[in-house]
Structure 1
């Protein structure tokens, strides 16, 4: 929230003022989690590939800028970096030292290949809080598969909650509920981990998934049935 005072703008303090977040995420769930942290006062720096993340190209408002991208990345600073460049390690480690929190949403194994996994970050910043979101979790037969909200809806059965049927098949719920709930869960878990670190000095590794969020949304209905 911002208000004007004596002709100058000032920012009301937030619960996460002073917290520094390195946001290495794309599309909806991860970026929205970063936006929520920013709204609570955190300084969020979004890292993108040199060509920008794919969500910029979804229904562009102006070249390489879409409404969805702007909505999910509000309140952040931006940085373009090629993690595969031979000289990127120096910059990456400097960012790890700067950050209190690192957020990623790659498939398991991709973060390690890019050098932004928990172990790489923890070697530089032992008390870092690392939050990783995947489609299907880090373990299990589908852990190495990529996926989006619509796929998690189908695999969890959440799509059947939409009463609209097309050609005898359910239609996905179109406000991306798995993405939105996952974003809230990520921001909530990161906030709890920051409190834990304040009390103990310990960092944490947090694991979230779109599939888990889709199942969570149906918990009441499934138990009641």
Structure 2
């Protein structure tokens, strides 16, 4: 086995510690971005559904503003977003390089995508259940918590998995500007130094993270589905 790796993955063997560090950095970016963007994305998604034309707190003015803002940020390619908000990143993180600095563009890039996904997931909730809750005098907050978020939980988990998988890809892209993680390792060592084995292994680890995320979400969906 060692001979196999020495022959086909010689550079990987020399970079064991860097691979471990880069994987931890990727997990760090994914975790904190998913947490921050998750909370804000769910909040925005709930507001979009609630203030929509058939929402329980219908408000066309607020909905149209949020809808346009989300569409605007969603239409900006992430690689351009990284450079556009560098002044904000420097102000908040004190630098534009590193995993912590990468959280700023990652959160900004993921929130609009996740908010739209949450909106679509909550729109799948049976309108009859919502009407029944309203007829029983349930408050709007009660409907949001007991109907939208609970009844729509399987769909929320499904779109969350899609978002996390997309996020893993974004962390690799952020590596292009020195954000750290597996993407940065694949570019600086694999691509720039023509160490193809490093690129292959870094890509394999990223794919493994994607498969684990998908498998975990499928498990949760089965446990929460009625």
User: TM-score by structure 1 length?
Assistant: 0.28
Q: Which has the higher helix share?
A: 2
Q: Which has the higher strand share?
A: 1
Over alpha carbons, which structure has the higher Rg?
A: 2
Larger RCO (CA under 8 A, 6+ residues apart): 2
User: TM-score by structure 2 length?
Assistant: 0.28
